[in-house]
Structure 1
Amino acid sequence: MPRWSWFREAAERVWRGWPQVLESTLAATVAWILATVLVGHPQPFFAPAAALIVLGQARGQRTRRAVEVLIGVAAGVLVADVVIQALGARHTLTIFTVILLTIVGAVAVGATGVSVVQAAVSALYLVVIDPPGENLIPFRFVDALIGGAVALVVSQLAAVRHPLDPLVAEFRQTFADLSSVLHEAADALDDHDPVAAKAALERARGMDSAVERLRTGVLAAGEAVALHLRRRRHRGRLRVVDASIGQIDYAVRNARVLARAGVTLTRTPAPVPADLGAAVRLLAEAVHEAGEAIAADLEGRETVADECCARAETAALEAVRIAGRLFLPGHPLPLAMIIGQVRSTAIDLLRSVGPDDDAALLARIDEALGLPAV
């Protein structure tokens, strides 16, 4: 069973990553064809290499990385050529000098780690494998240019027509996962099941990576929007969702604390209040609606976004209202923690989907919780 489970997980990873696999394979092959067939380079190693290096960078950074790769390759080749002419090829002193000068130069101009490595590898390749002659410097530079350009074009093919679609899908997936975590926590509370509560906590701990994917997705969408004719409208939407990611991060952390308190509560002999699971489920519903609101806003469906936002607020306030009624003297501390996290998650969730006045939002939340008006 563990072996089949591993194969299943591997197949799922391949299925999720097949666009990147296809993208990288296509870019490297096209770069090689362009350099060999159209340009006529005999062994254009740096064309597919540069394509793979650029595509290997985080989404949203490929344009800058492409420029860095070009500069790194050109600098490495230039340093190697000069040093080889002075010291000769394939000598220990030559290798030491070329690598030292290349890395120092790359660091001096502010290149990042991958660009420093690319520059050093380019120079080392020429010193050890193929010492440069009079025509090799332009070959290497043009090869890197071809590879970087092909990588950028291939990476943007799917995004040119609908540049925000990948980000919309990422938001929907993130909010669906967070909603599912809360549903699992609610089921564990209803069943007084510490094993299920621990499973929900483990899933909640894994949500941090989803938030990072959202941040990366915003960068990637910004890069794609730069090639879009109607980019001004898209940029406005991106600014809005980018500002909301911080609140989403807080909501994810709150849900993790809620799940941890759920583990503690299910381990105690005291019965779990019947309505606690209902409150957490309503919070999960609010999470789902908030995700749909952000997705609809990115898609330009403002009316749908407003409707989803209203439903998210209704569900969140009802969750806080139900949880507030459970806050009675003598109840265990984990219950109080869950009630507090229902409130905190609702606040951060609603802050992420609406430009509402913060004081008014807090007043509505506290009124639902049963706290006196300030």
Structure 2
Amino acid sequence: MSERMHTTPLPVQPEPKGWPRVKKFVSSRFRSGAWRARKALIPAATSAIAAVAAYAFASIIFGHSEPYFAATAALISLGFGRDPHIRKALEVSIGVTLGIFVGDTLQTLLGQGYWQGVIVVFVTIILARFIDSGVIFTTQMSIQSVLIVLLPIPPEGPFSRSLDAVIGGIIAIAITMLTPVSVRREAVAGFRELFTSITGVFRELSHALESHDSRGGWVALIEARGLQTKIDAVRAELAAADEHATYAPTRRSARQDLQEMSRTLEKTDLAVRSLRIIARRVITVIDEVDGKTEAVDDLERMASWFGDAGDAVAVLGRSVSEPVAPGRHRSLSVARDALGSVTTKLTPRNLGAGTLHGEALVMMCRPMMVDFLEATGSDHDEATSYLPTLGN
């Protein structure tokens, strides 16, 4: 029998004071600032090129003397997010252009002055709220319109600034379409996190069955209920990636990959919905056999199956993160074999389900595993072919 080890608690390090504290704070801020600056290199370069290109285009091609609003519209439309999104750039450019156009129109009708500025901002805000519920959209329109009505009219006329805004928006959208971004990167990261969590639920269920602890089943159930948020996040990333691949000529080839990933996600979503119900049933099965020594072996066989199923699902999760299609397809084939091997054991007799709730648990696992198999790219007939007949 091993002896309990006694350890002395580690001493708590006191917080630095005076100059060491200031030095630690400055060092921490410097490291975080340097990290943000490195991440901003490409977005900063893209924004700078867009602003100067819009200004130069309006100045050289159209002969505008001070096309500041072309550069402003390009910068605002492009934004400074993680990756530029075409739909967002289009929406923002429309808001900026509309705000400038409203300002130009009202300035032409009312003239220039302070009270005119009040009317312009008021009308612009009301119009923006009518068009869109977003606060940012309203702010963009109102800022552009008030600048228009308070700044001097350019020599080319009031509506030249509206044209500048259109130029800036178009250039921002064009740069967004041509910007080399990885359309799969965020979706793959989301898939990796999602399948790690799904695997964790399987292992929690396996441990709960093995230790006859229904509290572990409740933990797995809570984790399973939280999977929907991660599924929705991956779905949003795939939608953004598909948008970019649809409109960007340099990313058209990625659409097939994204379609396959979307199918994997939808089938995984169906499987997770079943997993939540299964987690609740596991709790019932554990409670049902509590105190019945003859049912211990049955729980251990089910625990072993959930552990194997979790390992197979982990293989599926790794398959989705493969960078190129040939490697991903080979990896999905391996995942299909692993999932199929687990599915062939799904009968009440094989898993020792000798009670009504135990049999119900096994039957619930069958459609879930079919969904996971279809997530690998199998059609429904191929996926169901792995299910053993219930007489076995």
Partner of 1:62: 85
- Closer, same or farther: CA 41–27 of 1 in aligned 2, 3 Å: farther
Following the alignment from structure 2 to structure 1, what is the Cα–Cα distance between the partners of residues 350 and 332?
A: 28
SS for the counterpart of 1:300 is: helix
* Structure 1 residues 62-106: Cα deviation after superposition (integer angstroms, max 9, x where no partner): 2122122222211111012212333455545443323334555xx
Q: Which AA in structure 2 matches 1:174?
A: L
SS for the counterpart of 1:365 is: coil
Structure 2 unpaired stretches of 5+? 1-27, 57-65, 155-160
Pair 1:134-2:150 in alignment: no
After superposition, residues 104-143 of structure 1 pair within 5 angstroms as: 104=130, 107=131, 113-114=133-134, 117-118=136-137, 120-128=138-146, 131=149, 132-135=151-154, 136-143=161-168
Following the alignment from structure 1 to structure 2, what is the Cα–Cα distance between the partners of residues 101 and 169?
A: 40
Pair 1:238-2:261 in alignment: no
SS for the counterpart of 1:342 is: helix
Pair 1:307-2:334 in alignment: yes
Following the alignment from structure 2 to structure 1, what is the Cα–Cα distance between the partners of residues 203 and 188?
A: 22
Following the alignment from structure 1 to structure 2, what is the Cα–Cα distance between the partners of residues 83 and 144?
A: 22
State whether residues 317 and 346 of structure 1, in contact with CA within 8 Å, keep that contact through their aligned partners in structure 2. Answer: no
- Closer, same or farther: CA 204–90 of 1 in aligned 2, 3 Å: farther
The match for 1:328 among 354, 358, 366 is 354
SS for the counterpart of 2:368 is: helix
State whether residues 100 and 148 of structure 2, in contact with CA within 8 Å, keep that contact through their aligned partners in structure 1. Answer: no
The match for 2:308 among 282, 287, 291 is 282
The farther-off stretch of 200-209 and 38-47 is 38-47
Structure 1 unpaired stretches of 5+? 1-10
Pair 1:27-2:43 in alignment: yes
Partner of 1:5: none
After superposition, residues 218-229 of structure 1 pair within 5 angstroms as: 218-226=238-246, 227=248
* Structure 1 residues 245-286: Cα deviation after superposition (integer angstroms, max 9, x where no partner): 221101111112222233444455345522111111122122
**Number of aligned pairs?**
332
Quote the RMSD (CA, aligned, Å).
Answer: 3.9
SS for the counterpart of 1:328 is: coil
Pair 1:173-2:189 in alignment: no
State whether residues 121 and 142 of structure 2, in contact with CA within 8 Å, keep that contact through their aligned partners in structure 1. Answer: yes
After superposition, residues 34-53 of structure 1 pair within 5 angstroms as: 35=51, 39=56, 46-52=73-79
- Closer, same or farther: CA 127–48 of 1 in aligned 2, 3 Å: closer
Following the alignment from structure 1 to structure 2, what is the Cα–Cα distance between the partners of residues 251 and 298?
A: 25
> CA offset at residue 47 of structure 1?
4.5
Q: Which AA in structure 2 matches 1:64?
A: R
> CA offset at residue 33 of structure 1?
7.4
State whether residues 164 and 299 of structure 1, in contact with CA within 8 Å, keep that contact through their aligned partners in structure 2. Answer: no
Q: Which AA in structure 1 matches 2:278?
A: L
Q: Which AA in structure 2 matches 1:123?
A: M
Following the alignment from structure 1 to structure 2, what is the Cα–Cα distance between the partners of residues 304 and 26?
A: 33
Following the alignment from structure 1 to structure 2, what is the Cα–Cα distance between the partners of residues 79 and 130?
A: 9
- Closer, same or farther: CA 348–236 of 1 in aligned 2, 3 Å: same
Pair 1:215-2:235 in alignment: yes
- Closer, same or farther: CA 46–238 of 1 in aligned 2, 3 Å: closer
- Greater fraction helix: 1
Following the alignment from structure 1 to structure 2, what is the Cα–Cα distance between the partners of residues 170 and 182?
A: 19
- Closer, same or farther: CA 179–77 of 1 in aligned 2, 3 Å: same
* Structure 1 residues 35-86: Cα deviation after superposition (integer angstroms, max 9, x where no partner): 3797586696554433337x37xx7x92122122222211111012212333
SS for the counterpart of 2:326 is: coil
> CA offset at residue 228 of structure 1?
6.4
> CA offset at residue 224 of structure 1?
4.8
State whether residues 225 and 235 of structure 1, in contact with CA within 8 Å, keep that contact through their aligned partners in structure 2. Answer: yes
